[in-house]
Chains A and B, each alone.
Chain A
Amino acid sequence: MEKVLSPEGAARVRIAVTVNGAERRAEIEPRLLLIHFLRDVLGLTGAHVGCVIGRCGCCTVLWNGRPVKSCMVYAVQTDGGDVLTVEGLGPLSPPAPPSPQGGEGGTTPCEPALEAPLPPMGEGGVGGRGLHPLQQAFWEADAVECGYCTAGMLMAAWGLLRQNPTPTDEEIKQAISGNLCRCTGYRNIVAAIRAAAAAMAEA
């Protein structure tokens, strides 16, 4: 990283960090938290601020492959590193071509095609219309209500499954024990992670 002075004489640092597979460069205050860098500088508003002291997990992202509370990391610490946010979750292989839609000026069905197979294992994708198996599983298990904790839950879960593709329920709960949800009571979230792990193991 390179330290510079802003026009007003305030300290600034130039960083380069890979976010969701693309290199991003910025000149920022040293005290800028990673969560604010992602949200305010890069416009990636999927991760949320819930407490700013690392307790609620709404800000969870993957940093060099490991889940972190991005409110507890300074953006400058990620210089030269790799960050994955919920916006970077996608299908685990290139998405299948869309099926033909009925009706004039066809619209996307609001329900996922439940009969469609989950995408096969492969390297992580970036964006695209398809969903990551975890995203699909959260949807099917009704693991999302207000959605505010969801990005953090997904990233904590993906951090777990990347290291441990066949977790026990206890390991799943341990992985999300630092993620608070006020809406769902957690039951469906655990079920979703379990289902995603099973689906990915089968593929």
Chain B
Amino acid sequence: MTETLTWDGAASEYAIGGRPLRRETERFVRGAGEYVDDVRLPGTLYAAFVRATVAHARIRGIDTSAARALPGVVAVVTAADVAADMARLPGTGGPIVAALRFHALAETKVRYVGEAVAVAVAESRYQAQDAADAVVVDYEPLPVIADAEQALAPDAAVLFEELPSGNLVQEVHFASEDVDGAFAVADHVLRERFRSHRWTPCPMEGRGVLAQWDPLVGVLTIWSSSAGAHAVRGRVAAALRLPENHIRVIIPDVGGSFGAKNGTYPEELIIPYLARRLERPVKWAETRTEHLATVRQGRDQVHDVEVAVRADGRILGLRDRITADLGAAAYIDNALMATVLYMTGAYDIQQYAVDAYGAATNKAPHGSLRGIGKADAAFVIERLIDLIARRVGRDPTEVRLLNFVPEDAFPYRTATGAILDSGRYHTALRRAMELADYDGLRREQAARPAGRVRRGIGTSLVIEPTGAGRRGAGGGFGACRLRMEPSGRVSLFPSHAQQGQGHVTTFVQIIADRLGVAPETVDVLPVDTNTAPFGTGAGSSRSSVVLMPAVYVAADRLRDKIVQIAAHNLGVAPDALVIDGSAVRAIDGSERGLTLRDVTRIAYNDVYLLPPGMDPGLEVLGYFTNPNIVYEPDERGRHNEFAAYPYEAVVAAVDVDMDTGAVEIVKYVSVHDCGTMLNPRIVETQHVGCIAQGIGGALFEELGYDEDGQLNSTFMDYLLPTVNDVPALTLDHLETPTPFTPLGAKGAGETGTLSPPCALGNAIEDALAPLGVRIRQTPYTRDRVWRLIHAAESQRAPQRE
């Protein structure tokens, strides 16, 4: 079904670059994973939320009396009930929304379908849901804003009356020195409007929170299916007015995230509050309907873009006006800024100007969806390349090759100040073309007889910046604690956990490789804010870019300490020693050595045998701050928010059925470069998953809104790709390391998601261009493609017999 070519991974040994099987898989195949809903505490109560059924309304009243009278119900709580005990928190992510204050439950208004209005707590799940269903909310409907441009119109209904800027909640402007000059000398100027649609990360496990209050010691323990333990802890501390060191957040097994579980949700504040108030554990596990309605949603931007082009297809300048739909905006993510920063993609375009506006609308708040912000930028620039090619009469691959950042230009500073660390874009695209037999595909396409199934070929090369760090939001570093126990066993406490990416196995590889101990003696402990050093949480594919290097640093530190202890006691130089499994041995052939148990005995007990001045114990912290982040903008606003730049070249071929609008992917060739592959097997599985999710976002998945709010509520109307929707793939890998970390890895968790909307969009238009069909928005669902075809065919007034 899939070929993998050229790279030839090392055998399954535990080393950096090795391919051992994932150790965490064993408990999952046994059904012994422990996700938040699997954590069972005696006396647990269950919570069910009452959620807005209208998209925009004032709350006139909430009647919980019937709900409270139902069997098994312990409490039914509204914002008014918690106002005295919980602090309202400021909106996050931008200066405009920071002026807003929010409770975990809606107070006077609801601003999106699904917004939490009340919560019922009962002895069983079903009783809690019965109670939630029995709560009556009296709404006074308000006009619904379901479009970002509509939201910014002067007469639009306003979501947050207290904001002087109306529905404008974010604004970014940037201009290079001489954009006008670039346009003045252009041979061609193309003007286009593009729209990326709204969809959602949709991991298989929804969100869930379990909280328990221990009144004896005044400690709140929270289990949450979250990507960031410390972030949750901080927000709960602020909301509940508890010191953060009285809050312990434990991350259980997490069934996927893809950005859905970044940041802190209102439910993660109110469930701990209830546990403390009721003095019993309280658990909430969301339904899929709640998930589709309220988990932060991604993409959804409109671009009015102009590009200045020379006659040969060389891009001279780019101007863009972006309108981003940020939903009910209590929480501004970094999508719009990321789009702004990376509109120029993999191309050498130094004259660029952008005006970007983020609007609040009556949709669920916007948030991270794999490839956040950069995916929207990639869609626009990659479609533009193909349109430029058509205008100047060249093949799109020629226009790409003409405009790519040259391979000898890295690290390369873009117009916005982003620093692309390393890359071989020409090599990658040429390799993809070779693997796809691009020339053969074109010949075959040209030779095809006309018919109702049309072949299209599309290419793309996307960059996916990773490892975000920015002013005010943190990031940019990874942290861990590494300890050799008295038994010789090694414990790792990383600052953030995995949601399926195989971090645990990769950590063990790094430790086994650098420290020299046997991998089966290394344990990666669950992320627990009591034991894990502070970190930003998973996201932005930052594990490879900052956390793995931190583990590498820690392993080297611990190794040095062990070796120095041994050297001091053996009377040899440290560099004559190596850690080999369970012992420290001299490499001078002398057979001298100490077991690790000898070393731990010295470090923990016979401390008089330590080298002079050395502290006891075998416990180190490892930090890694990626140097490739420029936090402070210069006088033009240039800065670099992302540390590493993986990328992917894709050649895709599709067959478009003119009678049904169905798009069949007949070839999908990917050449992927994420720098050093720490575990090539894990990289490839991640990458195939990214491609599948990207295909979902390109062909199937769409969150629909009308004047009443969100339309999709279940998997009947939100379609994730099934096994039959992922085509045969041809995969190849390049390894162009990032020079900014000792490991060279850039992160593999997102890149493949960006390409399908680009390459497939290019392929579909390539197939349908003779009809005059223009692909300017995603997704390419059957009905949308069919409508485009039908409209184009109707306009041509075909001869009918």
Contact = CB atoms under 8 A, between A and B. Distances in A.
A190 interface: yes
A85 interface: yes
Given A139-B25, A173-B724, A146 B204 contact: yes
A139 B723 contact: no
B204 A180 contact: yes
Contacts of B724: 173, 177
A40 B364 CA distance: 31
A53 B22 contact: no
B502 A139 contact: no
A50 B207 CA distance: 11
A148 B25 contact: no
Interface in B459-514: 487, 499-502, 508
B289 to A, nearest CB: 8
Contacts of A87: 30-31
A150 to B, nearest CB: 5
Contacts of B570: none
A185 B37 contact: no
Interface in B519-563: 519-521
Contacts of B688: 184-185, 187-188
Contacts of B712: none
Contacts of A145: 256, 500-502, 685-686, 689
Interface of A: 8, 10, 29, 31-32, 36, 39-40, 43-53, 55-56, 58, 85-87, 89, 103-105, 107-112, 114, 131, 135, 138-140, 142, 144-151, 154, 169, 173, 176-191
A107 B204 contact: no
Given A146-B203, A154-B29, A184 B723 contact: no
A53 B288 contact: yes
A182 B204 CA distance: 6
A112 to B, nearest CB: 7
A87 B27 CA distance: 11
30 contacts: A10-B71, A45-B31, A46-B30, A46-B32, A48-B37, A52-B287, A53-B714, A55-B716, A89-B31, A107-B521, A110-B508, A110-B519, A111-B20, A114-B12, A135-B30, A145-B501, A145-B686, A146-B203, A146-B205, A147-B28, A147-B255, A148-B33, A148-B205, A150-B33, A176-B723, A182-B203, A182-B689, A184-B688, A184-B692, A185-B689
A107 B581 CA distance: 14
B21 interface: yes
A29 B682 CA distance: 44
Nearest to B723: A186
A39 B502 CA distance: 26
B23 A110 contact: yes
B648 interface: no
Interface of B: 1-2, 12, 20-35, 37-38, 40, 71, 125-126, 202-206, 253-256, 258, 285, 287-288, 487, 499-502, 508, 518-521, 582, 597, 681-682, 685-686, 688-693, 714-716, 720, 722-724, 726, 729
A10 B723 CA distance: 43
A198 B71 CA distance: 54
Contacts of B71: 8, 10
Given A40-B125, A145-B689, A135 B714 contact: no
A31 B126 contact: yes
A182 B693 contact: yes
A189 B723 contact: yes
A48 B715 contact: no
A147 B487 CA distance: 31
Contact of B722 (A53, A169, A177): A177
B715 A51 contact: yes
B126 A29 contact: yes
A139 B125 contact: no
A142 B521 CA distance: 22
A135 B30 CA distance: 7
A111 B692 contact: no
B519 A135 contact: no
Nearest to A106: B520
9 cross-chain pairs, A with B, having the tightest CB-CB distances, nearest first: A46-B31, A147-B28, A146-B500, A148-B255, A86-B31, A185-B688, A145-B500, A185-B692, A55-B715
Contacts of A31: 126
B35 A142 contact: no
Given A8-B71, A85-B31, A183 B519 contact: no
A32 B126 contact: yes
A117 B411 CA distance: 50
The residue in B29, B37, B714 that gathers the most chain A C-beta atoms within 10 A of its C-beta is B29
Contacts of A142: 21-22, 25, 681-682, 685
A86 B30 CA distance: 6
Contacts of B518: 103
A112 B309 CA distance: 58
A139 B681 contact: no
A177 B723 CA distance: 6
Contact of B729 (A39, A110, A187): A187
Given A154-B29, A169-B1, A183-B203, 10 more contacts: A45-B35, A46-B33, A105-B487, A107-B520, A139-B25, A145-B501, A146-B255, A180-B722, A185-B685, A186-B726
B689 A149 contact: no
A96 to B, nearest CB: 17
B720 A182 contact: yes
Given A8-B71, A55-B715, A105-B487, A144 B40 contact: no
Given A53-B714, A111-B20, A182-B720, A150 B689 contact: no
A149 B693 CA distance: 15
A150 B29 contact: yes
B205 A50 contact: yes
Contacts of A177: 722-724
Contacts of A44: 31
A148 B32 CA distance: 11
A131 B28 CA distance: 12
Nearest to A147: B28
B520 A139 contact: no
Contacts of A148: 33, 35, 203-205, 255-256
A177 to B, nearest CB: 5
A135 to B, nearest CB: 4
Contacts of B597: 104
The residue in B35, B253, B723 that gathers the most chain A C-beta atoms within 10 A of its C-beta is B723
Given A140-B21, A169-B1, A147 B689 contact: no
A182 B258 contact: yes
A135 B29 contact: yes
A196 B624 CA distance: 42
The residue in B25, B501, B519, B597 that gathers the most chain A C-beta atoms within 10 A of its C-beta is B25
A49 B692 contact: no
A184 B519 CA distance: 25
A142 B508 CA distance: 17
The residue in A31, A150, A189 that gathers the most chain B C-beta atoms within 10 A of its C-beta is A150
A55 B21 contact: no
A104 B520 CA distance: 12
Contacts of A85: 31
A139 B126 CA distance: 36
B689 A183 contact: yes
B37 A49 contact: yes
A164 B125 CA distance: 38
Contacts of B690: 185
A50 B204 contact: yes
A131 B27 CA distance: 11
Contacts of B31: 44-47, 85-87, 89, 150-151
A102 B565 CA distance: 25
A191 B29 contact: no
B205 A48 contact: yes
A85 B255 CA distance: 19
B28 A144 contact: yes
